[in-house]
Structures are given as C-alpha cells and as structure tokens.
Amino acid sequence: MKIDRLISIIMLLLERKQISATKLAEMFEVTPRTIYRDVETISLSGIPIVAYPGVNGGISIMEEYKIEKKLFTISDITSLLIGLGSIHSTMTSEEVLNTMAKVKGMVPADHIKNIELKSKQITVDHTPWIGNRNLNINLEEIKIALSENKLISFKYYAQNGIKSQRKIEPYRLVLKNSSWYLQGYCTTRDDFRVFKLSRISSLELLEETFISREFNYKTLEVSTDIEKKKVPIKLLIDESLLDTMIEFCGMENIEPFGNNKFIASFPFIEDDFSYSMILRLGDKCECLEPENIRLEIIKRVENLLKVYKKEE
C-alpha cells in the first residue's frame, strides 16, 4: 500500500543523512519514478525534503526537522530483520517489505552495512523445493480474510480422499513442520476445524463478514490428534540412514547394534504417509516391532510386487 511505503520512506529519511532514489526504489521494489512521486507527496504534506544532485547526491529531510530515536540496540534490530526475513520467505507481501524498511530506518547510516551482513548470516526459509504453486496465492487471500473478518469458501480434500465444499470463518494461520494449516469455524459442519492448506483448492474470498467467536486456541492445536495416534516402533537401520533417522527421532533414540547397524525408536503414525515413508527407505531399514506394523509393511510390499509383476 502506498501509505505504508510513504511512512517507511519518512522513517528512513529521519534516520539517514541522505539516501538515493535508486536505493529507495531497490528497497521497496518499485521504480525511481514512483519514489520521486512519493517524495513529492511527502513534501506537500509539510515535511521539508531536500534533494542533492550529482553522483554522491540523494534525498534527505532538513536536519533541523529530525529527532533523536534510540528505541532498539543493534542486536535488537538484527533479530527483528532475521525474523521478518523468515516471514518474507514464506509470505511475500508489500506489508512485510515495508516493515523491514522501517526497521532498517532505525539503523544509523554508519552501521547499516554491518547490520545487513549480520541479518543475512541466519536465514530461515520454510519454502519447499517443490510443491503446490497455488499455496502463496491462498496465503494472501487468507491474510485478507483474517484482517477483514471475511468468510472464505474452498474445496477440501480430506486425508481419506473425500472431497467436500467448505465455508469457514478463518481465525489463525499456523506453520507446523513446514506445512501451513488454517484454524477456523466451519459453517458447513457447525464446528471448529483445522485445514491443511495443501489440501485446499478453488479458494474464494467472500464479501460476507463475521463476528469473531470466542474459543480456546489450544483445542485446535495441529499436533493434538497426531500426538494421540503416535505408536513407538523399533527400526533396524543401516549406517547410511543414520543422518536421516536423527532428523526424525533424535540421536538419543538411536543405539548401535553392530555390523554398521543401528536400532532406532521411531514415533510412528499408522497412515499411508508414514508407511510410504518407511518403504522409501528400502532394504536399508527393517521394522522389528510391533508385529502388526511389521505385517502391514509386508502386505504393502506384496501388493506393490503384484503391480509390477502382473502379466501383460
């Protein structure tokens, strides 16, 4: 939004001695011409803008107009930029970009290069290597719905493959284990529900608004049902899978077995995704117990063999 960009530019100019229009254009991802129009708008509002021509020139606010601002330490600002950068990687928006510019505006000019260097030393990137390209579009639409208390409708594909049309009051977006979830009140089911965004399609932002209901966010924790379904299993794994298994269950749940083998205690959920994950490990992994899980894996391997060995 233009008003956010104008406020961000003012904050930058208040902190810096001067800054070029080209640099401002890069920061806000607009053209220098747009920056010049913004500067003219700021000047017309009564803030005295001074422009210095030439290679070392730039735009600034008259020194007499500036005020001292020491709200955050250098460490505080670095932490803010790291956090905002992680949000920007998953939810790109002009709002986040403008907020980052405002935060940078609190940095003295002689510290800005050091701050930018330190803030880039830690990067939190939740975006998947591959995946649903419509996810970012849905995120932006849901953000608007959350901000304006608007209902949304969409088609939802449940884990069992059943498709349904839903209409909900959105309440909160949750990023859990690199997946986005939406918590809200489903008017179709007359109850609070949690929806995985990757299973949502044909999302539509409605003009209909709603009055927020009171509810306990804890009752909609994404992990609540999953924790109840977890079953501990023991896996015999090859040394080549050690790094992968450490990510799943931690080194404290893995012990040496001999002959370059390890025993891993693995938190397992009895669903298609978890079984396929075990099968992806191939002959480098064997489920030792419990017996029902082991038998189900054998059954799935036999069914897979039938697919590939069927007669022409």
pLDDT in tens, 127-178: 555 455 555 667 778 888 988 999 999 999 887 678 899 999 999 888 776 6
- b/e string for 176-209 if b means 16 or more Cβ within 10 A? eeebbbbbbbbeeeeebebbbbbbbeebebeeee
| Average pLDDT of span 71-84 | 65
Tokens of 270: 């009895």
Q: Does 71 score more than 50 pLDDT?
A: no
CATH for the stretch 136-221? 2.30.30.520
> Rounded to two decimals, what is the model's pTM?
0.50
Judged against a pLDDT cut of 90, whether residue 76 lies above it is answered with no
Q: Is the dihedral of CA 235, 238, 240, 242 positive or negative?
A: positive
- String of DSSP letters for the chain: -HHHHHHHHHHHHHHSS-B-HHHHHHHHTS-HHHHHHHHHHHHHTT--EEEE-STT-EEEE-GGG------S-HHHHHHHHHHHHHHHHHS--HHHHHHHHHHHTTS-GGGHHHHHHHHTSS------SS--TTHHHHHHHHHHHHHHTEEEEEEEE-TTS-EEEEEEEEEEEEEETTEEEEEEEETTTTEEEEEEGGGEEEEEEEEEE-PPPP--GGGG-THHHHHHHEEEEEEEEEGGGHHHHHHHH-GGGEEEEETTEEEEEEEEE-SHHHHHHHHHTGGGEEEEE-HHHHHHHHHHHHHHHHHHH---
Q: Provide the residue ranges of all domains of the chain, joining segments of one domain with +.
A: 2-119, 136-221, 227-309
Q: Which residues contact 293 (CB under 8 A, 6 or more apart)?
A: 231, 233, 268, 270, 287
Can you say whether the dihedral through the CA atoms of 250, 254, 256, 259 is positive or negative? negative
Per-residue pLDDT tens over the stretch 117-126: 766 666 666 5
pLDDT tens-digit series, residues 205-238: 999 999 988 877 666 665 545 555 778 899 999 9
Whether the predicted pLDDT of 67 surpasses 50: no
What CATH number does the domain located at 227-309 have? 3.30.70
Which residue did the predictor score with more confidence, 129 or 239?
239
Identify the pLDDT of residue 185.
93
